[in-house]
Structure 1
């Protein structure tokens, strides 16, 4: 290895070590700050949560700069967990958007220093309207801290930025305080998994909570043969319905199942399938699921037994097939 190659390799290693070191230091700095936040949660935090919980209005969350970005996330979390919330940019508020705030609304103002010019202009306007003001700030002695009705202490000793300038640890702390606030309100409201599903009907998490097997079987063809159906017609039924499977049904009851795999295994055992019927090659007592069961239960059953289709029944009667592709398409898997 020549000298130039050695130097390049050494530089690559130095960069790698430096990056890993800075990354770890950032994570440790922010995690320590978050741990300290727990000791700052007090009666005032509880009173603020109680006020919002009992309020008939919405929660307006505002801030400037990076704090405004955090405010939008807190709004999203509140809305998705049962507390109506709206974001209002602090700069826009003093140029017309103050009309966003209605009489019964609570206002959460986020600012690390609590002394930015926009906040100093906005706070008196909010107070003059008679709305309760909740501050999330690192500086309780600031203009915002002294003017707010409730102060949620988001104090951090220093930013993760080596120059102690770029908002890093402080915005993380603000976000954590917002999450804590939202979770307290969720708990007081008794917000359940069913409520979560109502608020997240389009997401994979919501679908796991509300999507039922019946929603999926209704999308598929309904492959079905009689026990005495000729194997040739069984093959046609499986091919026609394009699910790789058919139920063997007698008097509306499932007595067996035939899959593509069953057909392949049959062909390795016989020279001719002439005279064979569905009951000769079917698997008895197949895995079944109630048509009203949650789709996520179908996923678990398929996973536990290493299968890709389930036969569904309603009050003991065959009603269709749920395929693993249905679960994949809906984002359940």
Structure 2
């Protein structure tokens, strides 16, 4: 077997092992899961997620997912918790502890401290006979038959199962809260996903220059305006209204069509009825128009008032495309 075939065989075996383990989680779900979700939903506090080793890394990822989907969460390393960080847990918080064995020394030391604070405990463990499972108010099984590691040592399948269980919790909470795309945008204002949900044409146009020429402007004036405003286009104005558009493509076509351009005006080379959008629509909708029409720019209007230009490069720079 060549190296390529061997590598692909290992990768396929790994993915098959992990996918089967995650699929089996469906069979392990019971009322404990539903009660855990409902308790978090009813709680007035936050969700504190803790673990040690690879489980701590998974805990950190679950915290990020919960926070981004409307459930306030904080990561607390189990080892640090028993050395001063226990104060992270407040009165109404719900604690999630993640451990494959459920019997790691740090988790065992943490459990009685959580009980003293009378916080509800959700245990995510691969060992339902463990101290964590027995001490938890809600025990969620992430049992796996074996790790993807051929020595059955490196946490691989087990951490995949933990992460999937965390996603199941987060998405259950998201749907029960009625967490919408608008809510998602509020939590992701700087990301491309968030921008698709909140960035409007007005936000883009405000940062662009506003190219325009009179209908009787000379070709030289048109070219200067297009070059100066750096959007590859200019609106053509007559009596304070837009009557056409001249693009850099129109300029190239003009040069190939006319030997003498000295007497030409904007009205002679413009395109009437230019494609436009309202400044209040989402930028992603403007992108759809640009792609559908196969063009690079759109004029933007607030009602009948010309506000400027949105260019496809603006959308690329914003990460929308």
Matched, 1:22 2:34: no
Determine the C-alpha separation between the residues in 1 that align with 2:105 and 2:173: 31
Gaps of 5+ in 2: none
Q: Deviations over 1:284-310 (max 9, x none)?
A: 111101111111111111112221111
Which residue is equivalent to 2:178?
190
Matched, 1:329 2:312: no
Determine the C-alpha separation between the residues in 1 that align with 2:288 and 2:241: 24
Equivalent residue pairs, number: 321
Q: Secondary structure of the residue that 2:150 maps to in structure 1?
A: coil
Q: Secondary structure of the residue that 1:297 maps to in structure 2?
A: helix
Query: Which has the higher mean CA deviation after the structures are superposed, 120-129 or 232-241?
Result: 232-241
Matched, 1:57 2:45: yes
TM-score by length of 2: 0.98
Q: Deviations over 1:228-274 (max 9, x none)?
A: 22222111211221111001123443221100110110111111122
Determine the C-alpha separation between the residues in 1 that align with 2:313 and 2:34: 47
Deviation at 1:97, TM superposition (A): 0.6
CA-based RMSD of the aligned residues comes to 1.0
Matched, 1:302 2:290: yes
Gaps of 5+ in 1: 1-12
Determine the C-alpha separation between the residues in 2 that align with 1:119 and 1:267: 77
**Superposition map of 1:10-159 within 5 A:** 14-159=2-147
- Counterparts in 2 of 1:252 and 1:294: CA distance versus 1, 3 Å: farther
Which residue is equivalent to 2:264?
276
Q: Secondary structure of the residue that 2:163 maps to in structure 1?
A: helix
TM-score by length of 1: 0.94
Q: Secondary structure of the residue that 2:17 maps to in structure 1?
A: helix
Structure 1 segments, 4+ long, off by >3 Å, are none
Q: Secondary structure of the residue that 2:110 maps to in structure 1?
A: helix
Determine the C-alpha separation between the residues in 2 that align with 1:66 and 1:267: 66
Cα contact 1:309–1:322 (8 A) shared by 2: yes
Determine the C-alpha separation between the residues in 1 that align with 2:241 and 2:94: 59
Q: Secondary structure of the residue that 2:2 maps to in structure 1?
A: helix
Cα contact 1:159–1:170 (8 A) shared by 2: yes
Which residue is equivalent to 1:8?
none
